[in-house]
Amino acid sequence: MQRAHFVLGLFSLATAVGAQDVDSAALAAWLATDPMARTALPGGEALRTRAECEEWLPKLIDAAKFAARQRSRARWPMLATDASTAETGHLQLGDATMPFVWLRKGEKPARGFPLWICLHGGGGNADAEGPHAWAVNTKEWAAQKSLFARAYEAPGLYFIPRMADDRKGRWWFDHNQRAIDEVIREAVLLHEVDPDRVYLMGISEGGYGAIRFAGNRPDRFAACGGMAAAEPLTTSPPENMRNVAMRIDIGERDTMYDRIGLARRMGKRLAELKATDTAGYDFLVHVQEGRGHGIDYTLSPKWLASKVRDPRPSRVVWTVVPFDTTVDLHCYWLALTTQPARLPLHLTAAIHGNRIHITAEHDGPVDLGKSTPTLATEGSVLVRLDDAMVDLDQPIEIVVNGTAREPRRVTRTLATLARTYAERFDPHFAFPVEITIELAGT
């Protein structure tokens, strides 16, 4: 997967004259070219109006879909409706290989299929004789396929993977992060998936993964569900779950590894956050009475299926921390140019009309044992905007850490629209304007 080269290639759209000089056929051909062989595409500067942005985004999407089809290595099997007879696909993740089944349930809605990513239980066994040799993970993968048939929601496309390496049995490891990002891109580009209805759910070890993704990659999903699972506040920052729906189903007798205690503490913290930010934090921690580690798995999918992602929330709360060894540089309409020198970094950004408020702190209340925040004054934050969020034809007012900055006038460009789209191939994260805000500025 040549994602980095693809992004750099799209960035070169800004090297010549106007956006009107780039036709869609040339863009599609350019995107279909091997990224290593691409030269700069002529055209791509100013987009004068909102209408021009709205005209160009579908062209970018069509061109990206065409390029994705050209690059396809036919590693995905045909969609199946019966898990018991489905062909097993294999996703290559560097040196690791992730087996999976690719399933369809029901008919496609008008806006596209929901995508469900279902993570099995089990975990890791360092003594396993090979990457797919541990019988526990094999059995748990089979259980997920069985649940697809009898318990999971329709309509939807279902990606049901098997752990890529039983000896490294954690769903939140870097290679699994790459896998989930790739699956979402593939499904949106080539399989008519609605990017605002992507769901991640798992059982036991898979539930740990779903909760961690909700706390570390919330903008990918409409909702996440952890069943028979719970996570500490430190590994899955609950403040980051402001704009992703989160459900935990747990048995009241599930005391091993303090799962029930962790679940209740997560619920308590989310309730505290919601009390001060009532427009966010859609969550449910459901304790199933009389149950242990085995619970009713039919409840969570129904709840998740009712949720739809808001990709441009008016308020973003982002605690920037490593997720395994990766520090993500995007969260909804915020981004970073590089990893912050000091972590964690706590960012809060809100849009009120044409005014944007940003607070950047270290050592905030979410850091256990500390209660006094320290303002962050190093580095920069990128704010990405479109005409649905603010009036781009008027100055943008910016307030950083309580201090008003000089208002900015901005210019829409095809280069920015294309570059931001190419980072995740999510049409709702394509922005024609990007403002760099130095935290130490005045």
3-state secondary structure 97-155: EEEEEEEEECCCCCCCEEEEEEECCCCCCCCCCCCCCCHHHHHHHHHHHHHHHHCCCCC
**pLDDT at residue 28, as a whole number:** 62
In whole numbers, what is the pLDDT of the chain averaged over residues?
Answer: 89
CATH among 3.30.70.120, 3.30.70.920, 3.50.50.60, 3.40.50.1820 for 89-305: 3.40.50.1820
Residue extents of the structural domains in the chain: 3-71, 89-305, 315-438
**pLDDT at residue 73, as a whole number:** 57
Are 310 and 218 contacting, i.e. CB atoms less than 8 angstroms apart? no
CB under 8 Å to 427, separation ≥6 — which residues? 57, 61, 188, 195, 421
Q: Of 412, 396, 411, 280, which Cα lies nearest the Cα of 348?
A: 280
- Degrees to nearest 5, angle at CA 152 with 146 and 155: 125
Q: What is the CA radius of gyration of the chain?
A: 22
Tokens for 407, please give them. Answer: 């208002």
How does DSSP classify residue 197?
A: E
- pLDDT band of residue 33 (cuts 50, 70, 90) is low
- Tens of pLDDT, residues 95-119: 999 999 999 999 999 999 999 999 9
- Degrees to nearest 5, angle at CA 392 with 387 and 393: 125
Residue 213, CA atoms < 13 Å, CB-side half-sphere: 35
Which of the residue ranges 51-55, 140-144, 155-159, 352-356 would you say has the lowest mean pLDDT? 51-55
Does 6 score more than 70 pLDDT? no
